[in-house]
Amino acid sequence: MRVRAKKHLGQHFLKDTAAARAIATALTGHGGYQKALEIGPGMGVLTGFLLEDKRFETWVIEIDQESVDYLNVHFPALHGRIIEGDFLEWQPGSMGSPFAVIGNFPYNISSQIFFRVLSYRDEVSEVVCMLQKEVAQRIASPPGNKDYGILSVLLQAFYEIEYLFTVPPGSFSPPPKVQSGVIRLKRNEVKKLDCDEKLFFSVVKTAFNQRRKMLRNALAPLGLEIPENRFMTQRAEQLSVSDFEELTRLLASVKE
């Protein structure tokens, strides 16, 4: 497979075809989706392997016109399935539900992509992605770990997350200065959290904004009267998803 690589939007394009195949085959079909959407395919090193998988229909979304033109010429099988635009602004109504998301996420917007995925969590049943190893480890990290953070809690509330493998800098053009990690997210059975979801998101974000402080002090910016409870002398990284749900219910009772 001939691949021409370039860099845009902070993205380093994969040139290692063995790694690309491993990423493509990491899709399990969880949730019974019929379509998989690749974010930022660039020149298609991953796309080619996705098109070989007949379990689902491969779609791509690409913001760069040069890449779109290249894909139209070199991947005729994508005819009618290239979405020209920004995933962060795209509305997935045309995809149907459920669908998978896959890609080599640009390092500088990977967190924004995940928040977008969360917005459509009832449509996105599986995600396989490569991103900066540090971020990948953070997302997959369990409570009690220094890597555990906002995205860890919010994504783990709705997805089962698995760190799959590491990809070295030499697998990219141009090589990044850091290693990359591949993770897989599978939608869990949680349809709705057992608390006020809007408040839950606020509590998690506020708690980790001052993660070195005990929650008694870290949650002060919420402007709520904090009732005495077992979490107040703990730090955000010590709380599981269910702990944050319980804490949110406590705070909601005060709001009422």
In angstroms, rounded to a whole number, what is the distance separating the alpha carbons of residues 33 and 78? 18
Of 166, 145, 165, which Cα lies nearest the Cα of 156? Answer: 145
130: Cβ contacts below 8 Å, ≥ 6 apart:
14, 23, 103, 104, 105, 136, 167, 180, 181, 182
Token pair 């493509």 in the structure block, residue: 24
- Structure letter (DSSP) for residue 2: -
Ligand-binding annotation for 229, yes or no, is: no
Ligand-binding annotation for 247, yes or no, is: no
Ligand-binding annotation for 193, yes or no, is: no
In this structure, what are the phi and psi dihedrals at residue 95, rounded to the nearest 5 degrees? -80, -25
In angstroms, rounded to a whole number, what is the distance separating the alpha carbons of residues 134 and 255? 37
Ligand-binding annotation for 149, yes or no, is: no
- In sequence order, what E strands does 117-216 have? 124-132, 159-167, 172-173, 180-187
Ligand-binding annotation for 197, yes or no, is: no
- Structure letter (DSSP) for residue 243: H
Ligand-binding annotation for 31, yes or no, is: no
Is the previous residue joined to 174 through a cis bond, with omega within 30 degrees of 0?
A: yes
Annotated binding site for S-adenosyl-L-methionine: 12, 14, 40, 62, 86, 104
Annotated binding site: 12, 14, 40, 62, 86, 104
